[in-house]
Amino acid sequence: MNSPSRHAVHDRRRFLSSAGRGLGLAALTSSSVAALLKEVSAAGARVAHLAPEEAARDEDYWSQIQQAFTVTRGLVNLNNGGVSPSPRVVTEALVRYIWESEDATAYTMWQILEPQSETIRTGLAELFGCDREEIAITRNASESLEILLDGMDFKAGDEILTTTQDYPRMLTTLRQRERREGLVLKLIQIPTPPQDPAEIAARFERAVTPRTRLILISHQINLTGQITPVRAVCRMARARGVETIVDGAHSFAQFDFKQPDLDCDYFGTSLHKWLYAPKGTGMLYVRRDKIAKVWPLMAAESKQAGDIRKFEEIGTHPAANKLAIGEAILFHRGIGAARKEARLRYLSRYWMNRLKVLPKVYFNTSFDERQSCAIANVGVEGVEPGALGSHLMGAHKIFTTPIVHEEFKGLRITPNVYTTLPELDRFCAVMETVARKGLPTG
């Protein structure tokens, strides 16, 4: 892949930064994309004087954000945790970049489009609060994390510490290394939910031994939405000479934080969840002084040892997906990270507070704002999650995520900024009926 000129990269980087403030949109985007971004920017200007928590309750503002998505209203989608719909502005940009790729493809894709991904790298680094030379653009959180888990050097007997609630793909990756190389995977249990997040940090600290080399911790556990005390764990680990990988698949762009707030060595996330980027986009952060020690999944030349781009050597791949991340960043900035977090928490507490008064309803998620945001796990005593999920979808077209773990079970509920309050009312009404009468028979 040919490198872009320094001048071209600088110009596009400068544009993206200014576009994030609502300037010069037409220079990069088509007229329809520019118009959509301007609508979001104008809507934001009308609530700019409000605190995020006040803006979170302004239904007129959020109605405009809801209209930025093209989702059907014949289905209530409360399963945004795995992958989220993109707003129209991202889809329009993606399609435009795809069409550009179809014109003299070998030239357009590699000489014109792919070099512009350097601007996307800069935009992601600004969002995460780190150096652009510490950010690799990947295809998802799994790829980001497997680059790390398979690329770090360990020897037989070295211990890797994580929890029983960690993401299954990551546990599978570590168990494969355990079988191949004799590593020791140690799993700790954490409360569901804890009274205080410090309980989680304490359990990690007690489990560290002289043989511990790495801690893998989910910033937000996908099963319950539990937000973990990452900063405390990372600082404890560093004091003991242990490295930390943070699985940020569900946290990035859902609630407002940056790398210094975590103080981690490594971070991996998907961008097609809460950033609303094209499907199959992700991000990897590696602290700059650690890049050279991590082997890429696909071989790179030795001269690339200290270059974050070595983790992007995957062969031919579409440029369009990467570039449309830019529009997702603009949309995210148009809403505002703090305002978005407040709205997502408002939506989750809206339905949680309505259901918590029912005698048979239980929660596997804390109501503590330090411990949860948009994702929560709920159940009804005596009702299996799978059956409840099937009833919600089959009879009411409400899409949820049944979770059955050996330590707990329930439905994972994840509304999004396009979710309306009447849709949550509809979900709550069904849950109230099930809590009172059980599932219908026959």
Q: Tell me the mean pLDDT in the region 309-327.
A: 95
**Alpha carbons 262 and 27: distance in angstroms, whole number:** 35
- Alpha carbons 171 and 138: distance in angstroms, whole number: 20
Percent of the chain with pLDDT over 90: 90
Above 60 in pLDDT, residue 424?
A: yes
Residue extents of the structural domains in the chain: 117-329, 338-437
Domain 117-329 architecture = 3-Layer(aba) Sandwich (3.40)
Contact 12, 24 (CB under 8 A): no
Q: What is the pLDDT of residue 35?
A: 83
Looking at residue 30, its pLDDT comes to 65
Q: Is 421 helix (H, G, I), strand (E, B) or coil?
A: helix
Extended beta strands in 32-93, E state = 76-77
Residue 90, token pair as written in the block: 């991202």
Task: Tell me the C-alpha distance between 250 and 272, whole Å.
Answer: 10
Average pLDDT over residues 84-98: 95
Q: Can you name the CATH fold of 338-437?
A: Aspartate Aminotransferase, domain 1 (3.90.1150)
d(CA 66, CA 246): 31
pLDDT above 70: residue 22: no
**Angstrom distance (rounded) from CA 384 to CA 43:** 42
- Whether residue 404 is predicted with pLDDT greater than 60 in this model: the reply is yes
